Amino acid sequence: MWKPDRNSTRPLYQQIADDLEQRISYGEFPPGSLLPSERKLAEQLGVNRSTVVLAYSELRALGIIESRSGSGTRVSDSKWGATPKHTPNWRRYAEGGNFLPNLPFLRRIREALAHDPSLIDFASGELAGDLAPIQEMNTLMRQTSNTSYFGYDNPQGYGPLRQALVTHLKKYRGIRTTESSILITSGSQQSLYLVTQCLLSPGDAVAIEDPSYCYSLPMFQSAGLRLFRLPVDERGVRPEDIRSLYKKHRIRMIFINPNFQNPTGTVMAQERRSQLLDAASELGLPIVEDDPFSLTAYQCSPPPPLKSVDSIGSVLYIGSLSKIAASGLRVGWMVAPNSVVERLADARQQMDFGLSVVPQSLAAQFLNSSYFTPHLDRLRASLLYKRDLLIDALQKELGGLVHFHVPEGGLHLWCKIVPEVNDSKLLEAAIQNGVIFAPGSVYGSASGYVRFTYARARAEDIPSGISKFAQALHAAIH
């Protein structure tokens, strides 16, 4: 994003006016469209609000923009003189479609991080750059950059990657499958999207964990699904809740993240897993098993996935490289019965013609390489180290004010704030103080919970981040 040049002799407000005039003339802001508020633009550009006020008044004087009190600042459409010319009402188009916008808290977090990259980031659910196998990826890219095919690929995904996954899934997750049962997607996210769009119909009832990553996704509501909650206790969801939801609401699918659940970190207990599978097979109910975190298990091997003991094909299994290697690679996968894979591959061809072959071939090389296991070992040790830094800091700074379970894998710590506090107030106070987190309500929980991601921040920033958070908390509860 363009920023004014503080070393230029041209005044800041003039530079801003010039830039806006250019953007308006290029069509970024067509005639009649709303400009950012003075406050927002000042924040984006990192200048005082008064500078933007000056820039806007300059443009107003030139007749390029107009302000009406109460309705903000707009690009003039009077310029067009006598012949009536109408810009499409883009704002109304942008409100079209069934697709709901992202949650306000998530938009706020994205905005705050874009505006101030120095924030200590406990909000983004991903690995820090130095936990990703960047060296390894770069070496692989250099070694084997002999891609010979660059055409439209099989919409089901690049063959060699599906082959690599057959081996990977058997070795690391105890899942026996075949190339033809695997669909490659843009992260787990696109697998979830395809399931909600193409296997379910508007009005269908589905069960999701409470709290759950799924609540952070308007995708479920956009697909017109009715969501019912399966409360997560320290041993996961209760299978009997599924039976009663089925009786009451005829739920048609269950979404579950059994290992190191996002956000709670919970691992579902063994006997509940068998009961869940029993209930599903009794009711003919499909289970979507979202399993991005298992291979981060810090100290003992992660529980086997439901899919590995699913004898009758009730489970759609979803995995991803995002949380164990690199989220920017956008490589995820689904293991599913033939009829499902075919349907989803066909639909996704319409949406995006399939994933780029470049990251797919890189992912295949990485999974097949001798780098993979050592990378995982290093990753697990680093996550454990960061988790302990976070826990120490929380205990030191916030002793009796927080409650949490210690996660044994994953990227997140789920934290109850004991004193009563307003999520929004706490978030703003934290941002003010230079630290950011994800409010629990994003995941469907009541106010007063916080998800701290310890994977993303630098280790050395974790203690000071929590001390900034503690200050913000004290400010927000008083």
Footprint on this chain of ligand PLP (rule: CB under 6 A): 125, 187-189, 213, 257, 262, 290, 292, 320, 322, 327, 332, 353
Three-state SS for the chain is CCCCCCCCCCCHHHHHHHHHHHHHHHCCCCCCCECCCHHHHHHHHCCCHHHHHHHHHHHHHCCCEEECCCCCEEECCHHHCCCCCCCCCHHHHHCCCCCCCCCHHHHHHHHHHHHCCCCEEECCCCCCHHHCCHHHHHHHHHHCCCCCCCCCCCCCCCHHHHHHHHHHHHHHHCCCCCHHHEEEECHHHHHHHHHHHHCCCCCCEEEEEECCHHHHCCHHHHCCCEEEEEEEECCEECHHHHHHHHHHHCCCEEEECCCCCCCCCCCCCHHHHHHHHHHHHHHCCCEEEECCCHHHCCCCCCCCCHHHHCCCCCEEEEEECCCCCCHHHCCEEEECCHHHHHHHHHHHHHHHCCCCHHHHHHHHHHHHCCCHHHHHHHHHHHHHHHHHHHHHHHHHHHHHHEEECCCCCCCEEEEEECCCCCHHHHHHHHHHCCEEEEEHHHHCCCCCEEEEECCCCCHHHHHHHHHHHHHHHHHHHC
Residue 188 vs 433, nearer CB to ligand PLP: 188
Within 403-432, the residues that bind its own copies by CB under 8 A are none
Asked if 403 and 348 touch (Cβ cutoff 8 Å), the reply is: no
Among 51, 124, 266, 294, binds its own copies (CB under 8 A): 124
Name the binder of 262 from its own copies, ligand PLP, none, CB < 5-8 A by kind.
ligand PLP
**Residue at 301: amino acid letter:** S
Residue 85 vs 248, nearer CB to its own copies: 85
Q: Does 148 bind its own copies (CB under 8 A)?
A: yes
Q: Does 275 bind its own copies (CB under 8 A)?
A: no
Separation between Cα atoms, residue 198 and residue 453, nearest integer Å: 32
Nearest to 360 by CA among 350, 368, 351, 371: 368
Name the binder of 331 from ligand PLP, its own copies, none, CB < 5-8 A by kind.
its own copies
Residue 164 vs 417, nearer CB to its own copies: 164
Residue 45 vs 137, nearer CB to ligand PLP: 137
Size of the site for its own copies (CB under 8 A): 120
Q: Does 147 bind its own copies (CB under 8 A)?
A: yes
Name the binder of 351 from ligand PLP, its own copies, none, CB < 5-8 A by kind.
its own copies
Letters for 233-272 (x = contact with its own copies by CB under 8 A, - = none) are -------------------xx-------------------
When computed from its CA atoms, the radius of gyration of the chain, rounded to whole angstroms, is: 25
> Which residues pair with residue 332 across a beta bridge?
185, 320
Q: Does 222 bind its own copies (CB under 8 A)?
A: yes
Q: Does 381 bind its own copies (CB under 8 A)?
A: no
Q: Does 37 bind its own copies (CB under 8 A)?
A: no
Within 299-358, the residues that bind its own copies by CB under 8 A are 307, 310, 312-315, 322, 325-331, 335, 337-340, 342-343, 346-347, 349-358
Q: From the CB of 299, what's the least distance to its own copies, in Å?
A: 26
Among 21, 66, 153, 241, binds its own copies (CB under 8 A): 153
Q: How far is CA 406 from CA 131, 256, 308, 413, 456, in A?
A: 21, 20, 27, 7, 18
Residue 112 vs 200, nearer CB to its own copies: 200
Q: From the CB of 170, what's the least distance to ligand PLP, in Å?
A: 21
Q: Does 186 bind its own copies (CB under 8 A)?
A: yes
Name the binder of 39 from ligand PLP, its own copies, none, CB < 5-8 A by kind.
none
Name the binder of 202 from its own copies, ligand PLP, none, CB < 5-8 A by kind.
its own copies
Q: From the CB of 450, what's the least distance to its own copies, in Å?
A: 20
Among 70, 81, 88, 399, binds its own copies (CB under 8 A): 88
Among 61, 62, 134, 446, binds its own copies (CB under 8 A): 134
Name the binder of 320 from its own copies, ligand PLP, none, CB < 5-8 A by kind.
ligand PLP
Name the binder of 395 from ligand PLP, its own copies, none, CB < 5-8 A by kind.
none
Residue 178 vs 395, nearer CB to its own copies: 178
Separation between Cα atoms, residue 415 and residue 28, nearest integer Å: 42
Q: From the CB of 405, what's the least distance to its own copies, in Å?
A: 26
Name the binder of 290 from its own copies, ligand PLP, none, CB < 5-8 A by kind.
ligand PLP
Q: Does 274 bind its own copies (CB under 8 A)?
A: no
Residue 132 vs 470, nearer CB to its own copies: 132
Q: Which two tokens stand for residue 272?
A: 């509940």
Residue of closest CB approach to ligand PLP:
187
Separation between Cα atoms, residue 320 and residue 186, nearest integer Å: 9
